[in-house]
Amino acid sequence: MMLLYFVELFELDKSANQKKIATFKLLEEEGKIVEIDGDCHHPVVENILGEGIFDYKNSMPGKLYPYDGISFLENLKYHFRSGYLSATDVQKKTVD
């Protein structure tokens, strides 16, 4: 059994309903690179992959990318906190 850490990214659609764009996942044992399930061609996801996100949690200079592992996951909720785009806190679940 392994521990899976994940963050879900949502947007509001034209009808003001919350729609999941993607899930960012990190397996505890592999622990290096965050995988993305969902619409990898969505402009927001492409922007994350190309431009990265700032490290708001630790106030470190530079940007974070999926290869930064858990630090990247922890900062998604700070990067996406508008009414239009939002990310969940880091969640855990046990997988076989």
31-52, pLDDT tens digit by residue? 688 999 999 999 999 999 999 9
> In terms of C-beta density within 10 A (0-12 exposed, 13-18 middle, 19 or more buried), how is residue 72 classed?
buried
Q: Which domain holds residue 66?
A: 2-95
d(CA 40, CA 35): 10
pLDDT for residue 30: 65
- 92 - beta bridge partners? 5
User: How many domains is the chain built from?
Assistant: 1
pLDDT for residue 31: 65
